[in-house]
Amino acid sequence: MKPLRLFSLVTLTAAAVLAPLGAIEITLPAETDRLIESPLPGYALATTYCYTCHSTDYVRVQPPGMNRAAWRASVVKMQKTFGAPIPDDVIDPIAEYLARTYGAERAAAPAKK
């Protein structure tokens, strides 16, 4: 009988310690590190080639007046200076997407009321 009692004690103690842990819920913060969705082909390309090294904050904090040539230069810099494996033929579509979504070519923001 003695070994059985010891077993019960261990089981009960374990249950008492572990049960409250089951009540812990972890709520993750909303996923905000995403590029703005777009039907432009450059959107899918940017999600393929621009998420690997840094957050999308780098894109978001660029001046809204940045034109397509400046965005293009930025993508080329990722490729040439930082060694991002970005194929040449996706540079223009990505630059177009960035200029039209974050830069000088985007539709005017709705007026504040």
Quote the distance between the C-alpha of residue 48 and its chain's center.
11
Cβ proximity to ligand HEC: between 27 and 81 the closer is 81
CA angle 58, 62, 65 (to 5 degrees): 160
What are the start-end ranges of the H helices in 19-86?
41-49, 57-60, 68-80
Task: Single out the segment in contact with ligand HEC by CB under 6 A; choices: 3-11, 13-21, 36-44, 77-85.
Answer: 77-85
Task: Give yes or no for residue 75 binding ligand HEC (CB under 6 A).
Answer: yes
How far apart are the C-alpha atoms of 87 and 30, rounded to whole Å?
32
In the complex with ligand HEC, the residue whose CB is nearer, 20 or 63, is 63
For residue 22, state whether it binds ligand HEC (rule: CB under 6 A): no
Q: According to CB under 6 A, which residues from 30 to 69 bind ligand HEC? A: 46, 49-50, 52-54, 58-59, 62
